[in-house]
Amino acid sequence: MSFLSLGLSEAISSTVAELGYSAPTAIQTKAIPVILSGRDLIAAAQTGTGKTASFVLPLLEKLSQQHSAANHKLRGKRVRVLILTPTRELAKQVESSISKYSESLKITSMAMYGGIDAAPQKQALIWGIDILVATPGRLLDMAHQRALHFDELEALVLDEADRMLDMGFIEDINKIIERLPNHRQNLLFSATISADVRALAKRTINNAVEISIANERTSQPKIDQWLVTVDKSNKSALLSYLITEHKWSQALIFIETKHGAAKLVSQLEKRGIAAESIHGGRTQAIREQILAEFSSGKITMLVSTGIAARGIDIGNLARVVNYDLPAQADEYIHRIGRTGRAGASGEAISLVSKDNFRELCAIESKLGHVITRKAFEAFPVKKLVPVSILNYVPKHKRK
Ligand code: AMP
């Protein structure tokens, strides 16, 4: 299968070939023809599967065809394609993919998010933008201020829809959708299609084609998942042991709270392991600097709260560690998707103490299998973690 045979032009196909994409991934093979045909789409696909290119490439194709066919001139303050993402990091990442993929085309794109001065963003909108990638809050602000109009919008993409709902963006999304023209193409991407995502899709999307590659691992090489049961008081010692004994070159370590993150960094440092942390309490500039240093390998151990890590795309991330298991099983799937991205293999390790048993049951039920357990002699466990019940239903979801 080639990008050309999916219906993409020579220009776009050769750009992706230059980026080293030798063949489309599973999601790309399924999504590109549907999007080119103009149909609505609901796609279950995790990060790491090549999902961004699966919607960006066909949208670029359609926009560039119109540009050359009709000499289409965009009016000021108008956008043709709107991509909504849950976080500024993801917005920037998606926009940077668009810039890469559209190198040979005359297509403009921009990322728009909160937390920074709105004036330059307003200025950039004055001449219109073909593809706008935005977080819901800032987008709505701009629309309220009449810095942006949607009457020329042709397509809406909801990227990581489950995450946007988890982060409480539903009202903003609904308000945005109310402002959009009725005739448009709708694309929804989500790691998991939960009942809430389905409800959102029902309101937004008509007659969509549904595709799922969530359980297909062909495009995503092996993620080696394992866990160690450990007494809570031994967690940081166990983590230090794993880092040192297994000579880990890099790890993204997830932890629940920002206080916990700071404490863990100092515990690691006491054992001679250099580490950094990112969490919602750090400024955007510092978070970006730390991420860049982690990406370049200058920082090797990065401790992060779940929220701060959203949208992180580090090519070839070797390993993620759940120092704390996430409260939601879907979040676990998201986290492990940060490693083993297209073209690389990765490892996902969880440190599980007895009080995490519920979360473990929910995660293993979601996966449909138990995670391999490894034990280390130096860390005998006093409070044993039982084997999970695989049809576990969280209390709030029981009928
Ligand atoms: P995503 O799932 O969109 O976060 O993409 C994950 C990674 O896969 C990104 O770093 C892309 O550059 C890369 N990628 C996307 N499509 C392909 C492809 N067809 N072949 C190889 N790598 C790809």
pLDDT tens-digit map of 265-295:
999 999 999 999 998 788 878 888 898 899 8
Both tokens assigned to 281: 């309490």
Both tokens assigned to 188: 């929804």
Tokens 């005998």 -> residue:
380
End position of a domain, from candidates 216, 232, 259: 216
Domain check: are 192 and 225 in the same one?
no
Counted domains in the chain: 2
Q: 150 lies in which domain range?
A: 4-216
Identify the pLDDT of residue 291: 86
Q: Is 338 in the pocket of ligand 1 (CB under 6 A)?
A: no
Identify the pLDDT of residue 344: 66
Domain check: are 209 and 69 in the same one?
yes
Identify the pLDDT of residue 218: 37
Domain check: are 130 and 277 in the same one?
no
Q: Give the separation between CA 346 and CA 285, rounded to whole angstroms.
A: 28
Domain check: are 86 and 179 in the same one?
yes
Q: Whose CA is nearest to atom 16 of ligand 1?
A: 50
- Nearest CA to 275 out of 256, 336, 255 is that of 255
Positions in the chain short of pLDDT 50: 216-220
109 sits in which H/E element: strand 109-112
Cα Rg of the chain (Å, integer): 22
Per DSSP, the residues of 281-301 read: TS-HHHHHHHHHHHHHTS--E
Q: Is 89 in the pocket of ligand 1 (CB under 6 A)?
A: no
Domain check: are 123 and 140 in the same one?
yes
Q: Give the separation between CA 337 and CA 163, rounded to whole angstroms.
A: 14
Task: For residue 26, report the distance from its CA to the centre of ligand 1, in Å.
Answer: 11
341 sits in which H/E element: none
Domain check: are 24 and 97 in the same one?
yes
Find out whether 101 and 15 touch, Cβ atoms under 8 Å. yes
Domain check: are 205 and 240 in the same one?
no
End position of a domain, from candidates 194, 216, 238: 216
On whether the pTM is more than 0.95, the answer is: no
Contacts for 279-283: CB closer than 8 Å, 24+ residues apart: 279/304, 279/305, 279/307, 279/308, 280/305, 280/307, 280/308, 282/308
Domain check: are 74 and 135 in the same one?
yes
Tokens 């939601």 -> residue:
328
Find out whether 236 and 267 touch, Cβ atoms under 8 Å. yes
Identify the pLDDT of residue 216: 46
Q: What is the DSSP secondary structure assignment for residue 149, as one 8-state letter?
A: B
Mutating to test ligand 1, I would choose from 25, 97, 189, 316 the residue with most ligand atoms within 8 A of its C-beta, which is: 25
Task: For residue 361, report the distance from its CA to the centre of ligand 1, in Å.
Answer: 31
Q: Whose CA is nearest to atom 19 of ligand 1?
A: 24
Which atom of ligand 1 sits closest to the CA of residue 48? Answer: 2
Domain check: are 256 and 212 in the same one?
no
Domain check: are 45 and 157 in the same one?
yes
Domain check: are 321 and 387 in the same one?
yes
Q: What is the CATH number of the domain that holds 176?
A: 3.40.50.300
**What is the amino acid identity at position 288?**
E
Domain check: are 33 and 156 in the same one?
yes
Query: Which spans in the chain are helix H?
Result: 10-18, 26-37, 51-70, 88-101, 119-125, 136-144, 161-166, 170-179, 195-204, 235-245, 258-270, 284-296, 329-336, 357-367
Which atom of ligand 1 sits closest to the CA of residue 45? Answer: 2
End position of a domain, from candidates 216, 241, 263: 216
Sign, Cα dihedral of 147, 151, 153, 157: positive
Q: Is 21 in the pocket of ligand 1 (CB under 6 A)?
A: yes
Q: Is 206 helix (H, G, I), strand (E, B) or coil?
A: coil
Q: Is 337 in the pocket of ligand 1 (CB under 6 A)?
A: no
